[in-house]
Amino acid sequence: MLHGLLTFLLALLLLTVMSIRVRAPPFFTLLAGALFFGLLSGMGPDQVILAAINGLGKIFAIFVVIILCGAVIAKTLHAQGLIEGLVSDLRRMTRDAHSLSGLAGYLFALPATCCITAFVMLTPLLERMGGEQSGKGLLYLTAVGSVLSYTLIYPTPVVIPLFSGLGSGASPIFFDLVAVPLSLLLLCGVVFAFKARASRGREDQPHLEEKRGDGVAAGGIHWRAWAPFLAILAAIPLFSIVFPLSHESMIQCIMLAGLLACMVLATPEARTAGLLSGTRHAGIIMFDICGAGAFGSVIVASGFPETVFPGMVAALPLVVIPFAFTAVIQAAQGSRVVSAVISSQVLAGSAVSASMHPIPLILSVAAGTCVVSYLSDPYFWLLQRTTGGSIWEVVRNYTLPLFICGVVVLATALGLQAVLAGG
């Protein structure tokens, strides 16, 4: 057990050094980590390479359609100026700029299948909503909102592998009945904290100019902008209840439904631009996720779960183990999707997953992807560059809120596990 843990920690140290110091691309960092871990664990070179290829291929098969659809949807909406339409519609729902910013990031991260993509596309609009200090606060709220939905709501690239590996027949609809209210409650808490701080600082009130963009219906709603959201939402009960499919099949179908709605309503120019730009963007994301699949597959093939997790079960509370394991991976390399993919592969079939109800198990892993959003997190540095703030400012406005949210999600998982295990 000690040898396995030491090998794993050394591999994570290698990932950290290559990510932060060398700034190597995540795909090559994860492949290097897989080879290092496998060889140090006593696996032969051929065994390590075959395990890495197997993990890479499995993740590609699951994610390629999902990521491509999300990236093309986001880029196509952006090409038509409909991102501004989404924000304008939300503005009519709430006159409060703080709530608007958090909600915009929360919502747009879902069809974009990438929280960073959502933030980048919303940034130009948010920067026009107020003065220097209040504008920074809106950007941080958008970032936190995008991470909350991205790590907690089905279907996103973080939650999908958790359902595939750890779901054990659990319904994604039932999961979202827990995760959506929980994530919105957390978002409300973060928004309230930012508003209270802005009020104490007497910052200028943010503003947003109203515009009637292309695709506005008679009621003033940018229906073409909302169409992919609505199609995805409608497809979830369709393919889980009316035409029941497995998790892997259902997620492909609902994302294709969103893409179809977006493409049918797009202008020819936007359709072409969205396909070209979205395909390039999806390729970058896919390489990183496939690298995570390779690393996770090598860990499983090494026998790590069988040698390490039984001892951890005896030493730690059950629901804390997947949380702590995921948090360590997150701290080492920074990508939430990578953390979820590796954790789902390693935990699947282990004593931990066999002893927990799938819903609190998934929530525990999701919480672990939130609590360490620090120097290894690319989102951290994007926020630092975009806002021009100090490292401490980013920690205070991004790292700390997400840490608190992660702890609350873990507490929720603890409570659910106690109730469901008792039932």
- The reported pLDDT for the residue numbered 310 is 74
175: helix, coil or strand? helix
Show the CA angle centred on residue 312, arms to residues 309 and 313, nearest 5°: 85
Q: Where are the alpha helices (DSSP H) in 302-357?
A: 304-315, 320-333, 336-347, 351-355
222: helix, coil or strand? strand
335: helix, coil or strand? coil
Model confidence at 49, pLDDT cuts 50, 70, 90, reads very high
Could you count the other beta carbons within 10 Å of the beta carbon of residue 127?
Answer: 15
Q: What does the pLDDT look like over 119-169, one tens digit per residue? A: 988 888 777 665 444 568 899 999 999 999 999 998 888 998 898 889 887
Report the distance separating Cα 153 and Cα 254, nearest Å. 14
- The reported pLDDT for the residue numbered 215 is 44
Task: Provide the CA 175 distance to its chain's centre, in angstroms.
Answer: 16
Q: What does the pLDDT look like over 341-359, one tens digit per residue? A: 999 999 988 888 888 999 9
**pTM for this one?**
0.83
The DSSP call for residue 46 is H
The answer to whether the CB of 294 falls within 8 A of the CB of 344 is no
Residues 6+ apart with CB under 8 A from 362: 159, 162, 163, 166, 167, 170, 175
Report the distance separating Cα 331 and Cα 64, nearest Å. 26
Report the distance separating Cα 142 and Cα 121, nearest Å. 11
Torsion of CA 149, 151, 157, 159, to 10 degrees: -110
